[in-house]
Structure 1
């Protein structure tokens, strides 16, 4: 069965931690549907933005139980899900895990759909990944950046 939606995501932090942002490109498979989203934050990390991009993309879907493929250049995110580490972290209540707030939000959204991840090499001329990177970096440079309330140094 073919995927209903392809989601491309990227996160960025200028400095790690520093100002950051995420970029999302969503495409409905077989239809001329394409949406882009981006948001910037005052003080965050690259990994938080990589994960938040996926969460926000899944939140934007109006239908439930879609078959989704997420393309990310983040091994942190792709491996945590595809190698099922995040489910072990959840069983241990995310004890001593960074970004536990976001992983909890992720699991809520993840369970609304059938989601698979594909890791793609970043900065490798993949058109949607390059677009997400551009959106994320531009978002991190905006004037009215949000506060990443879950970020802890």
Structure 2
């Protein structure tokens, strides 16, 4: 068992109980330069209450992971701004960027340790701002396992890309 799956990442004191659990995921198909995002919303009893997803021209899976988390937090702040949520992602890079690297990037005027501009700086900044304004704890969950909530988020992201290709 990986302890990171049970450790909350939070910009404030972690919550003890969540009104909603959101599972977000992004997908990217390099051959067609399309990305999809999706997230599934579960209530505190674990019942699926809604899901949202979309597709857009993209350049990487990281971009789509960021957009999926942003869309999930936007939903939370629009629909239930005071309700504590747990946001689950299988993108370790998202959590590392948001909780470990973000302060360093700010100090270095949005340049990474090697001096290059931070890729998707605007998305990182948007995600950080949303996370500061939402009662949210982030959790890493191992992707592509038997977790049906994560599988649904992944399916939502991928289906949008496939539908877009069929209609083209």
TM-score range, shorter-chain basis? 0.7 to 0.9
- How far residue 125 of structure 1 moved from its aligned partner, in angstroms, is 1.4
Are 1:86 and 2:108 an aligned pair? Answer: no
Are 1:110 and 2:131 an aligned pair? Answer: yes
Taking structure 1 as the reference length, the TM-score comes to 0.82
- Distance verdict in 2 for CA 1:143–1:108, change over 3 Å: same
Structure 2 distance, partners of 1:16, 1:129, is 24
- Distance verdict in 2 for CA 1:33–1:128, change over 3 Å: closer
Higher strand share: 1
Q: Which residue of 2 aligns with 1:75?
A: 92
Match of 1:7 among 16, 22, 33: 22
Q: Which residue of 2 aligns with 1:28?
A: 43
Unaligned stretches of 5+ residues in structure 1 = 145-153
- How far residue 33 of structure 1 moved from its aligned partner, in angstroms, is 5.9
- How far residue 16 of structure 1 moved from its aligned partner, in angstroms, is 7.7
How many residues are aligned here?
A: 143
Match of 1:133 among 154, 157, 162: 154
Taking structure 2 as the reference length, the TM-score comes to 0.76
SS in 2 for 1:8: strand
Q: Which residue of 1 aligns with 2:10?
A: none
Q: Which residue of 2 aligns with 1:121?
A: 142
Higher helix share: 2
- How far residue 118 of structure 1 moved from its aligned partner, in angstroms, is 1.3
- How far residue 27 of structure 1 moved from its aligned partner, in angstroms, is 1.6
Contact persistence 1:17–1:46 (CA under 8 A)? no
Match of 2:81 among 64, 89, 99: 64
- Distance verdict in 2 for CA 1:102–1:26, change over 3 Å: same
Match of 1:55 among 58, 70, 80: 70
Structure 1 distance, partners of 2:36, 2:153, is 10
